[in-house]
Copies of this chain bind each other. A is one copy, B any other.
């Protein structure tokens, strides 16, 4: 009740407020029922107000996805920048950071890779995604340079790594990495298989 009535006619930064509300909804809701009206309602604003800041529903979704990629990138970059005994350990921790991000923000992660977040019609979203994808590339480059990883086809290594990590994240979100099916610590174990292929023999 503290801010219910004393809100001025003009919000100040409604755009930001709408985004924050939407992100909070995504964080909570695994079951993906996202409506613009609900976002407006929770932000305490009329259902038409969002249209002053976003052309349509999809534009807000793309902005959310963009923020998701930025945050995922930050997560992975932070995980990667610690001290590690080996590049292999660095790789595992960075990959785990991505999967933890997905598990912590399942709705957002799903959105980032859904057809609602169409990267072909939004350069900013496309760039954000590409910047994030560049992180494992750097890690692999460093690993090749210091001799941890085999010096062959880095593009293939990137594709393999990214697909692996993203696939694990999606399966984890869907609850398909059950212990009785894939054993304990399936993520760690799966990454080890990949790393056996990446590392020099």
Contact = CB atoms under 8 A, between A and B. Distances in A.
B189 A153 contact: yes
A97 B160 CA distance: 17
A46 interface: no
A22 interface: no
A28 interface: no
The copy count of this chain in the complex is: 2
11 contacts: A155-B181, A156-B183, A156-B190, A157-B193, A159-B182, A160-B164, A160-B194, A167-B167, A193-B194, A193-B198, A194-B197
Nearest to A193: B160
Interface of A: 30-32, 110, 113-116, 118-120, 129-130, 133, 153, 155-168, 170-171, 174-177, 181-183, 186-187, 189-198, 201
Nearest to A184: B155
Contacts of A129: 176
Nearest to A110: B115
A171 B160 CA distance: 11
Nearest to A191: B160
A196 B164 CA distance: 14
A130 B42 CA distance: 39
A190 B153 CA distance: 9
Q: Which 10 A-B pairs have the closest CB atoms?
A: A167-B167, A197-B197, A156-B189, A163-B167, A196-B197, A155-B183, A160-B193, A160-B190, A159-B190, A159-B182
